[in-house]
Amino acid sequence: MIDHLVVGIVAAAVTALVTPSVGWFARRLGAVRWRAGEGPEAQGEQASRPSGRRDPRVPVLGGLAMFLGLLAALVVAAPRDAFADLFATTSEPVAVLAGVVAIVALGALDDLLDLSAALKLAGQLVAATLVAALGLQLQYFWLPSIGIVALSDDLGLVLTVLFLVAFVNLVNLADGLDGLAAGVTGIGAAAFLLYALRGGGTATGLLSSATLLATITIGVAFGFLVHNWYPARIFMGDTGSMLLGLLLGAAGVAHVGRSSSPSATELIASVPLVVPLVVLAVPVVDTAVTIVRRLRHDLPVTRADLGHLHHALVAPGDPHRRAVLVLYGWSVAAGLSVVGPLYLADGTVLVMLVGTVIVMAVATVLGLRGRSVPDARW
């Protein structure tokens, strides 16, 4: 566990330290963006030209800082006891790194040039395919009442690519408020790490890859959150959101999709990849609702709008921080449902979970009903 802690601290520290420099670099490139509700469409055409000495727009490309944090963490992890065999005997770190390089390049281009949805999807498929083709892909499905279903290399590759692309877009769609995507992904990765460390079943020899990726995800997410908390001094952009999605999705594939005989403690994961989806319950639910809403109104599914739950909570009067904290709370509740039974008595978990859900439900309802209340910042 010490090795995981060291790697996580390095990832967080490097990310936090280099983020200001990345922000300066992004401004030099002109990679800046208005904060939601502050652009020309909200304030009139005069807002389209920043006035004064400092550009009020926020730099993007924050994902580059996360990428540097990830590289530093991998360098530190390679010689450590917990991960030495992983780097020496498998191609999984190389596979993930290749996919990460591709997704970061794609995200940076999108942040700079605003790529079309089709081109972004094509790039995501390339990045996910690199991860799967170079050695990290689903090998088994374990289904209740059926048992183990071994996957052929071709089918495993296809399913892995689809799963990774889904995760990339889940986190990407969650990046709508300052600190939201980083915090929710960090909480989800922490829950998944605790689950993988305790609920390994018979696949303990394969855990290092999953736990390494989860640890790095936690580090880069919370390291970046230091600068991304409201009011954000930098946005992660698609460079960061797609990177976080790929990392957490790869961690899920490395653990859940490679365990050929789940133990009793892994009952919640008896249908492969349920756990990674549960720990990202907030963006999963929000994405599903968004897709249904857009289809009902005959809108393109890929068209961006302000109809997400996080936008409803913050507009027009609810404090930004409160809205983000409410969604953090829901993420904690989802993580507790996965991790709790592995560490605590069932009765204790039930009480904690019910209490958390009640508090979050009240906070959500008050947030949605109080949208017209004048802003009272925390």
- pLDDT per residue as tens digits for the range 122-176: 999 999 999 999 989 988 766 666 666 778 889 889 999 999 999 999 898 888 7
Question: With contact defined as beta carbons under 8 Å apart, do 251 and 164 qualify?
Answer: no
Higher-pLDDT residue of 26 and 55 is 26
Mean pLDDT for 299-310 is: 56
Confidence of residue 112 (pLDDT cuts 50, 70, 90): very high
Q: Is the peptide bond before 316 cis (omega within 30 degrees of 0)?
A: yes
pLDDT on residue 138: 85
Q: Which of 30-34, 187-191, 299-303, 318-322 has the lowest mean pLDDT?
A: 299-303
Question: What tokens appear for 166 in the block?
Answer: 């889904």
Q: How far apart are CA 378 and CA 371, in angstroms?
A: 15
Per-residue burial over 85-113, b = 16 or more CB atoms within 10 Å of its CB, e = otherwise: ebbeebebbebbbbbbebbbebbbbbbbe
Q: Which residue has the tokens 């330290």?
A: 17
- For 224-251, what is the mean pLDDT? 95
Residue 193's SS3 state is helix
Is pLDDT at 324 greater than 90 in this prediction? no
DSSP state of 234: S
Q: Any idea which residue has 């280099």 for tokens? A: 18
pLDDT at position 312: 56
Distance CA 127, CA 103 (A): 6
Terminal C-alpha separation, the chain? 36
Task: Decide if pLDDT at 378 tops 50.
Answer: no
Q: What is the pTM of this model?
A: 0.85
Burial call 254-286: b when 16+ CB within 10 Å, e when fewer: bbbbbbeebeeebebbeebbebbbbbbbbbbeb
Q: Are strands 147-150 and 32-33 parallel, antiparallel or unpaired?
A: unpaired
Contacts (Cβ under 8 Å, ≥6 apart) of 185: 171, 174, 217, 221, 244, 245, 248, 280
Residue 6's pLDDT band, with cuts at 50, 70 and 90, is very high
Show the CA angle centred on residue 205, arms to residues 203 and 209, nearest 5°: 100
| Measured distance CA(97)–CA(242) in Å, rounded | 14
- Tell me the pairing of strands 58-59 and 32-33: antiparallel
250: which residues sit within 8 A by CB, 6+ positions away? 96, 99, 131, 136, 164, 213
Whole-angstrom CA distances from 92 to 23, 135, 182, 292 are: 31, 5, 24, 36
Q: Is 38 a residue whose pLDDT tops 70?
A: no
| % of the chain residues with pLDDT over 90 | 48
- Going from the C-alpha of 315 to that of each of 36, 56, 57, 249, 367, the distances in angstroms are 10, 20, 20, 31, 9
328-374 per-position pLDDT tens digit: 998 899 889 888 888 889 899 999 999 999 998 888 777 666 554 33
pLDDT band at 202 (very low <50, low <70, confident <90, very high): very low
Tokens in use for 272? Answer: 């492969």
Does residue 277 have a pLDDT over 80? no
pLDDT band at 377, cuts 50/70/90?
very low
